Amino acid sequence: MGIQIAPSILSADFARLADEAAAVSNADWLHVDVMDNHFVPNLTLGMPVVESLAKATDTPLDCHLMIEDPDRWAPGYVEAGASSVTFHVEACRAPIRTAREIRAKGARAAMALKPATPIEPYEDLLSELDMILIMTVEPGFGGQKFLDVCVPKIRRTRELLDKHGLDLWIEIDGGVSADTIERCAEAGADVFVAGSAVYAADDPNAMVEQLRGLAEQSAGR
């Protein structure tokens, strides 16, 4: 599996989402941040917008649920058109059951960890997942500064996956830019969510390619 870039529409123009999706047509995924103003102090979009966006783009949707009670809502996002659904372990009451329901509906199941949440207590859950999302900022807002303290956790997660021979992706989300992506790729990350770095660029597609090139070079791929 190669390096994958997932621009976050949290940094896009919400009034022009179809156009903003087309502006990153060479991206591997389109990252959709779902926030409920409870689990995180912000409110973004929900299932109806995901359903509309899925009809407006051929790029697969990577839905990141920063919400309370993801056990209840996660399967619905697959039905709305998401190809990957991520729940936060801090909010999930039954992560194995939720992951299995996501997979059973045909999407990739991912588990997200806040910066202060360690990976080690969830070692036994890894085989139930397709991806681990390591937050490299506190969830809830775009445009935050990358937290270097999270890089060792990326490396430890990669070591755990290698230990068990698991073919899971490691995604990082928060402060990803040309200045930070290389150290994360070297540590073992595969999938990179980039919001403001992509959508603030004069040419978003060109920035996607630049980020992909930097990560591939650093990862030796």
Supply the residues annotated as catalytic.
Answer: 33, 173
d(CA 110, CA 192): 14
Is position 195 annotated in a ligand binding site?
yes
Q: How far apart are CA 31 and CA 11, in angstroms?
A: 10
Is 196 annotated among the ligand-binding residues?
A: yes
The verdict on whether residue 143 carries a ligand-binding annotation is yes
CA separation for the pair 198, 106 (Å, rounded): 29
164 labeled part of a ligand binding site: no
175 assigned to a ligand binding site: yes
Q: What is the DSSP string of 53-110?
A: HHHH-SSPEEEEEESS-HHHHHHHHHHHT-SEEEEETTT-S-HHHHHHHHHHTTSEEE
Pair of tokens at residue 78: 């697959």
Question: Which of these, 94, 30, 107, 109, lies nearest to 62 by C-alpha position?
Answer: 30
76 is in an annotated binding site: no
Query: Is 8 one of the annotated binding-site residues?
Result: yes
| CB contact set of 184 (below 8 Å; sequence gap of 6+) | 136, 151, 154, 172, 176, 192, 215
Query: Is 142 annotated as a binding-site member?
Result: yes
Is residue 76 within 8 A of residue 38, CB to CB? The reply is no
Residue 64 marked in a binding site: yes
Positions at the binding site: 8, 31, 33, 64, 140-143, 173-175, 195-196
Binding residues for substrate, as ranges, are 8, 64, 140-143, 173-175, 195-196
Residues annotated in the binding site for a divalent metal cation, as ranges? Answer: 31, 33, 64, 173
